[in-house]
Homo-oligomer: A and B are copies of this chain.
Amino acid sequence: MSTPLEKARRDPESMKARILDVSRRIFGEYGFHGTTTRMIAQEVGIDISTLHYHWGGKKDLYESVVIDINKDLRQKLIEVEQRIHSLPLGERLDISIDMTTDYLFEHPEVSNLILFRYFGKTRSDGNLDAIIPEFTADIARSMGLALDKKNVPPETMMKVLAVMNSIHNFISGENFFRPMVKADRERYIALVKETLKFILIPAFTQNEAI
């Protein structure tokens, strides 16, 4: 057995995959209600009925998109963790911020969609994000703030959320913030990293031996 999402990801050239990729971007920009199936179909260059043929309906497609970006993000987190594992905390943070920021600037729809789900309601919405608490606990462990990913204390969860949100904010708000600081894209990315490190590193290293 295999879900439509798995099929799509096996063949990146398939129509399923093309629709999924465009959907990620447009759902990320306009949110669920702001996106129409016609917008997606037009961008892919197909008829709406073809979209329905492959994905069943708008809501099914949206759910697949959410699952897909969660998979991607989780994959990236594993990658980051392998890279920083067994380094001192300050360095772990530094490298994590660099890697995560670079990745998300290349795939801003990931941040967009996550923030949409955090802050916006959908008129009819199931609980699709049971994964997020697990993510957060994983990151807590990876940052050395918790020993295992069960029973992470609330204070720690909150700190991790603050870190992740700060990153997503700058990625997803680029169109809004970048003109404010009059920077080109490259400079903006540098400013984001610098700011994140300025804010985050002192907080988590303040009680550490130097």
Contacts and interface: CB of A to CB of B under 8 A. Distances in A.
Chain A at the B interface: SS class:
helix
Interface stretch (A44-52, A76-84, A194-202): A194-202
A119 B122 contact: no
A136 interface: yes
B123 A112 contact: no
Identical subunits present: 2
A162 B199 contact: yes
A161 to B, nearest CB: 6
A169 B199 contact: no
Nearest to A182: B154
Contacts of A118: 169, 172-173, 176-177
Interface of A: 29-34, 112, 115-123, 129, 132-133, 136, 154-155, 157-159, 161-163, 165-166, 169-170, 172-173, 176-177, 180-183, 191-192, 194-196, 198-200, 202-203, 206
Given A119-B176, A202-B206, 19 more contacts: A30-B122, A31-B31, A31-B120, A32-B34, A34-B122, A116-B120, A118-B177, A119-B119, A119-B172, A132-B176, A154-B191, A155-B191, A161-B170, A161-B195, A165-B165, A166-B169, A198-B203, A199-B199, A202-B202
